[in-house]
Chain A
């Protein structure tokens, strides 16, 4: 028993990726147990390890935490990535919820059938560039600080970097109109723990390939 958090999910980004980012940014080593076939999920369900029969699940501090946000909230608080008081937490929560919404659009794109892709792509990039990025560009511009909230790194910064990079995978010039976000991206990427996570060989997962989709769907359905 290593004492390290243990992540249960399939070997891909999905809903676990924001949690991998948070742990990595906090400098926390973690283990992963990958679901590769339906039987792996069924086993976890039968063992009573999944409160609502679903993954993500993270074994941490003697608990089997489920529900992405519950897990992320716990990790962020434990490792001081959640602001210094209630008002900072409120801002972080608002920003992060917006990012979760965008992440949902970016994450599901790879799983869509071909005929649904074009419209979804247009919608997700429209939301990224007209609803979400302008907000964060303005927040950073208005206060002129290095971090989105307060004077230190928080989960809001980490999650923003994550979705910027995901959006760029689909549209490399997505930050063209957002100079402050471009500097933010460079600055955050250079934080040592994050820089390490961005290097090949880390536990960061790659973009899902079309060939993998049927296998992943068969685990869950």
Chain B
């Protein structure tokens, strides 16, 4: 028993990726146990370790935590990435919910049929550039600080960097109208723990390709 958090999920990004990002940014080493077949998932279910029969599940501090947001909130609070008071937390929560909505759209793209995929890709770019990125650009512009909330690195910054990189995978110049977000991206990417996570060989997972979609469909029966 290592005492390190242990992540249970597939070997892909999905809903666990934001958790990997946050732990990595906080400099927390973690282990991973990958679900590779339907039987692996069934075993976890039959062992009674998944509160609602779902993953992500993270073993941390003697708990078997499930539900992505619950896990992320716990990690953020534990590692001081959740602001200094209730009002900062409210801002962090709002910003994170926005990036969650955007990344949620991107996450499902590989699972769609070709015709809906094209339509949804266009919608993602539209939402990214007209609904979400303008908000974060403005937040940074208004206070002129390096971080979104409270002049200190928080969960909101890590989540935004993750969302930016995912959006750039959809459209490389998606940040062209957002100079402050470009600078933000450069700055946050250079934070040592995050820089390390961005390097090859880290526990960061690659984008989901067609082959992996087939694996996921089999495991979750979708």
Enumerate chain A interface residues (CB-CB to B < 8 A): 51-53, 61, 63, 65-70, 73-74, 77-78, 86-87, 89-90, 93-94, 96-98, 101, 131-132, 135
Contacts and interface: CB of A to CB of B under 8 A. Distances in A.
B76 to A, nearest CB: 11
B65 interface: yes
Contacts, number: 75
A93 B53 contact: no
B94 A65 contact: yes
Contacts of B90: 63, 65, 70, 73-74
A93 B52 CA distance: 13
Interface string B45-67: 00000011100000001010111
B51 A135 contact: yes
B1 interface: no
B135 interface: yes
Given A67-B94, A94-B66, 9 more contacts: A51-B94, A52-B132, A68-B97, A70-B94, A74-B89, A86-B77, A86-B78, A89-B73, A94-B65
B114 interface: no
B74 A69 contact: no
A96 B51 CA distance: 12
A7 B196 CA distance: 44
Given A51-B98, A52-B135, A87-B63, A93 B74 contact: yes
A52 B69 contact: no
Nearest to B77: A86
A143 to B, nearest CB: 15
Contacts of A86: 74, 77-78
A73 B73 CA distance: 11
A93 B73 contact: yes
Chain B interface, >50% SS class: helix
B74 A52 contact: no
Nearest to B53: A131
B131 interface: yes
A90 B70 contact: yes
A53 B131 contact: yes
B87 interface: yes
A115 to B, nearest CB: 19
Nearest to B101: A52
B93 interface: yes
B2 interface: no
Of B65, B66, B67, B86, the most chain A CB neighbours within 10 A belong to B67
Contacts of A87: 61, 63
Contact of B93 (A69, A89, A98, A131): A69
Contacts of B53: 131
Nearest to A63: B90
Nearest to A66: B94
A90 B52 contact: no
Interface string B119-135: 00000000000011001
Interface in B75-128: 77-78, 86-87, 89-90, 93-94, 97-98, 101
Q: Top 7 nearest A-B pairs by Cβ distance?
A: A70-B93, A93-B70, A97-B67, A67-B97, A70-B94, A94-B70, A74-B90
Contacts of A52: 98, 101, 131-132, 135
